[in-house]
Amino acid sequence: MLKVRVIPTLLWKQFGLIKGVAFDSWRRVGPVLPAVKVYNQREVDELVLLDIVAHLSSDDPDFESIAEFGQDCFVPLTVGGGVTHIDQVQRLLRVGADKVAVNTEAYARPSFINEIANRHGAQCVVASVDVRFQEGAWRCFSHAGQQATGLDAVAWVRELEDRGAGEILITSIERDGTMQGYDLPLIEAVAQAVKVPVIASGGAGHYQHMVEAVTQAGASAVAAASMFHFTEQTPAGAKQALAAAGAPVRLPLVA
């Protein structure tokens, strides 16, 4: 059985980390590299690093900074933001990324998911999907949650899986940063629609929220930012809570 993963999310804007609420009201958290070093020591399973303003520019991802972060990251690292070409994917993998998250470009050019999966394997492709609940349905938004696509989230994740995505990172925009809990019906609908792992994101505020996402909604992994940035709760504590609830997790070896 696959282990349930606990994944801190690092939202990156220019020179540092930020965090907001519902993809708005951003505030600075601190520099990226110290956070990466801290999480190395906190028994995380993976890290997700997302450049939330990269879509505003046609420039390449900041390969130099990502290489610096990658040198000090000793867990699998997913990098996303502004990825639009297969050559960028290849270079991100060379400078330290283990997986690449794709969001906005997938809407403009769905075949990009096929291209990455065919070149580098499905395990390399994390399809990031940002969702709002509107008029009785979950709708996908691109450009860091700013532009409506009109696409139904469940239909879209099925297509992403069919095109070769190895994982789905599903984020509730309304829940993001609120620490009031994940959108469990959304996560459950996505988890039931696809066979690939689903990473729950948006709303975690305490360990029980993570337990619910896994045991009730069927998430394969739980991502969080505010919970780890602004409270004393830790990834190790999250794993212990998940284990106590019967979820399979990677616990530290006891000497």
Q: Residue 237: which of 32, 30, 42, 63 has the closest Cα? A: 42
- Separation between Cα atoms, residue 166 and residue 180, nearest integer Å: 28
Backbone angles phi, psi at 69, to 5 degrees: -65, -40
> In this predicted model, which residue has the larger pLDDT, 52 or 205?
205
- Separation between Cα atoms, residue 59 and residue 166, nearest integer Å: 26
Going from N- to C-terminal start, the domains of the chain cover 5-244
Task: Supply the pLDDT for residue 42.
Answer: 81
Over residues 90-104, the pLDDT tens digits come to 999 999 999 999 999
- Give pTM, 2 decimals: 0.93
Return the CATH architecture of domain 5-244.
Answer: Alpha-Beta Barrel (3.20)
- Separation between Cα atoms, residue 70 and residue 60, nearest integer Å: 17
Over residues 167-180, the pLDDT tens digits come to 999 999 999 989 99
Dihedral sign for Cα atoms in the order 78, 79, 84, 88: negative
Residue 11 has pLDDT above 60, yes or no: yes
Task: Supply the pLDDT for residue 255.
Answer: 40
**How many residues comprise the chain?**
255
Residues 6+ apart with CB under 8 A from 148: 139, 141
- Separation between Cα atoms, residue 185 and residue 216, nearest integer Å: 9
Give the H or E element holding residue 7. Answer: strand 5-13
59: pLDDT confidence band, cut at 50, 70 and 90? confident
5-13/47-51 β-pairing? parallel
Task: Supply the pLDDT for residue 29.
Answer: 65
> In this predicted model, which residue has the larger pLDDT, 146 or 240?
240
Residue 127 has pLDDT above 90, yes or no: yes
24: pLDDT confidence band, cut at 50, 70 and 90? low
Quick one: average pLDDT of 137-145?
93
Residue 145 has pLDDT above 90, yes or no: no
